[in-house]
């Protein structure tokens, strides 16, 4: 199958140059023109895609070669862009910043995989002619990357723009003014979520006035077609009735890779979203609790009627998989401004910290006795400002070859049929088959 949807990668010179705001504003400007815009984010980010999804009305997908492989990037892109007029991929960090000091999983790497032209966002604050030296370096650093245009951000005045515009190393596609009140607030894990701020969406009006949208679309149309490699999945499962996997989704738990949800569905699960904050007794045969901000909603989680219901289900043997925020919620307590009681399923407590305890890609396998055999690989990412203190030794279901996990490369604290891990995993087909099979077995009890 060939894919030829117009596409661009919005990259930046560095983190903080305004790339997320520009990319989101561009999405909003094109949506306002009546276009179907499919958004993407390179790397393992959960927060920026929430803004993309709100703006475009289409679920933003992660494109991460470390977790998905290059073939996985192509397949996810092709599947998600069906019916789209244009695809916009927001890069992560600086254009050539990948894992471990390489360009692997960088915006440049993703652009090469997708055969997509790149538009570079540069921060022009407090600089004029010298910015062209920076642009020249980005242009020549990797000739495999098509650097097709520049969007200058934080332009201070017409005179400032005129000084920069006297020379042109790469075509200028936008001149975005410096706005004092145009930045989205951040917290310890990054920007606030989309439901907490509409500034990204509102920035579309600024992009309409300051960027050459016609030329940007023309650049996107230059992307070359590529062949989509065949996947290894066997298609949609014919399980009937389909076991229900409840996915916790509310203000406390909102970090999910959409591909994970889709794969669970294809493996035979009925996906049913619920809120641990508000739902007392959701009907389900297994539970997936993703990451998020349980520490910000600890009081509500402590008071929730869901706790007792869930504890009973766990004692009955219901399969449960929690990651990062989900792991924290599965523990006995979370210590923030005070100690809050949590689900008390895993024999450990969570303590919030001022510095991040782990950051980077994770790789390993399931180990020991759990719902997932040792043949099932684990790939993902970890990033958290908390530590989990286990009672006694603790039993772990994952052994990481790369990454920190809960302690010294051990992750996946387990009790009953419950596993809680710091790893945000990118699910494999094998993982999903075993999870759905466990849900099916529990539903027959």
As a whole number, mean pLDDT of residues 206-216 equals 97
Are 121 and 21 contained in the same domain? yes
Question: Does residue 189 carry a pLDDT above 90?
Answer: no
Are 73 and 151 contained in the same domain? yes
Does this model's pTM top 0.85? My answer is yes
Would you state the pLDDT for residue 120? 98
Would you state the pLDDT for residue 202? 79
C-alpha span between 104 and 111 (Å, rounded): 11
Domain CATH code at residue 42 = 3.40.50.300
Would you state the pLDDT for residue 190? 45
Would you state the pLDDT for residue 444? 78
> What residues are labeled active site?
324
What DSSP designation does 283 have?
-
Are 33 and 154 contained in the same domain? yes
Q: What is the pLDDT of residues 392-417, one digit of tens each?
A: 878 999 999 999 999 999 999 999 99
Q: What is the pLDDT of residues 31-52, one digit of tens each?
A: 999 999 999 999 999 999 999 9
Are 215 and 261 contained in the same domain? no
How is 176-238 classified by DSSP, letter by letter? EEP-TT-PPPEETTEEPPGGG--HHHHTHHHHHHHB-HHHHHHHHTTPPPEEPPP-S---S--
210 CB contacts (<8 Å, ≥6 apart)?
174, 175, 176, 177
Are 218 and 308 contained in the same domain? no
Judged by average pLDDT, the poorest of 224-233, 294-303, 340-349, 374-383 is: 224-233
Question: Does residue 188 carry a pLDDT above 60?
Answer: no
Are 206 and 249 contained in the same domain? no
Residue 234 within any structural domain of the chain:
no
24, 200 in Cβ contact below 8 A?
yes
Would you state the pLDDT for residue 193? 46
Are 138 and 275 contained in the same domain? no
Confidence of residue 56 (pLDDT cuts 50, 70, 90): very high
Are 430 and 283 contained in the same domain? yes
Are 280 and 339 contained in the same domain? yes
Residue 60 within any structural domain of the chain:
yes
As a whole number, mean pLDDT of residues 88-104 equals 96
Are 212 and 278 contained in the same domain? no
Are 209 and 256 contained in the same domain? no
Residue 321 within any structural domain of the chain:
yes
C-alpha span between 420 and 345 (Å, rounded): 10
How is 375-396 classified by DSSP, letter by letter? TSEEEEEEEESEEEEESSS--E
Confidence of residue 374 (pLDDT cuts 50, 70, 90): confident
- Indicate the helix (H) or strand (E) that contains 340: strand 339-341
Residue 409 within any structural domain of the chain:
yes
Kindly report the average pLDDT of the chain as a whole number.
93
Question: Does residue 196 carry a pLDDT above 50?
Answer: no
Residue 238 within any structural domain of the chain:
no
- Number of domains the chain is built from: 2
Would you state the pLDDT for residue 38? 98
Question: Does residue 174 carry a pLDDT above 90?
Answer: yes
Would you state the pLDDT for residue 370? 85
């Amino acid at each position: 199958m060939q894919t030829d949807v117009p596409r661009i990668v919005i990259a930046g010179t560095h983190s903080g140059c305004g790339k997320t705001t520009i990319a989101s504003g561009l999405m909003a400007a094109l949506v306002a023109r009546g276009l179907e815009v499919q958004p993407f984010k390179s790397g393992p980010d959960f927060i920026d895609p929430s803004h993309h999804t709100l703006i475009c009305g289409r679920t933003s997908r992660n494109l991460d070669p470390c977790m998905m492989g290059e073939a996985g990037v192509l397949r996810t892109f092709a599947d998600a862009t069906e019916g789209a007029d244009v695809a916009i991929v927001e890069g992560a960090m600086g254009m050539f910043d990948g894992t471990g000091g390489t360009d692997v999983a960088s915006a440049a790497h993703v652009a090469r995989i997708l055969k997509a032209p790149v538009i570079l966002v540069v921060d022009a604050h407090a600089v004029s002619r010298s910015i062209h030296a920076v642009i020249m370096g980005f242009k020549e650093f990797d000739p495999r990357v098509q650097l097709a245009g520049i969007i200058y951000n934080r332009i201070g005045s017409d005179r400032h723009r005129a000084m920069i515009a006297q020379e042109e190393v790469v075509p200028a596609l936008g001149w975005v003014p410096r706005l004092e009140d145009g930045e989205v607030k951040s917290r310890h894990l990054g920007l606030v979520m989309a439901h907490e701020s509409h500034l990204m969406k509102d920035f579309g009006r600024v992009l309409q006035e300051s960027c050459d949208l016609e030329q940007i679309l023309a650049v996107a149309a230059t992307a070359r077609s590529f062949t989509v490699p065949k996947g290894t999945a066997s298609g949609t499962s014919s399980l009937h009735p389909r076991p229900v996997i409840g996915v916790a989704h509310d203000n406390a738990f909102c970090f999910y890779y959409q591909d994970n949800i889709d794969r669970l569905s294809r493996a035979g699960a009925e996906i049913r979203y619920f809120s641990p904050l508000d739902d007392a007794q959701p009907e389900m045969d297994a539970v997936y609790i993703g990451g998020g901000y349980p520490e910000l909603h600890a009081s509500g989680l402590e008071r929730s009627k869901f706790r007792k219901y869930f504890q009973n289900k766990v004692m009955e043997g219901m399969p449960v998989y929690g990651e990062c925020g989900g792991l924290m919620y599965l523990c006995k307590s979370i210590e923030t401004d005070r100690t809050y009681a949590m689900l008390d399923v895993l024999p450990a407590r969570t303590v919030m910290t001022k510095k991040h305890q782990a950051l980077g890609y994770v790789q390993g396998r399931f180990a020991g006795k759990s719902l997932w055999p040792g043949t099932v690989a684990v790939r993902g990412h970890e990033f958290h400002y908390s530590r989990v203190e286990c009672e006694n030794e603790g039993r772990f279901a994952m052994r990481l070859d790369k990454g920190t996990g809960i302690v010294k490369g051990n992750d996946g604290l387990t009790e009953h049929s419950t596993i809680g891990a710091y790893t945000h995993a990118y699910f494999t087909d094998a993982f999903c088959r075993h999870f759905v099979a466990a849900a099916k077995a529990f539903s027959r009890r």
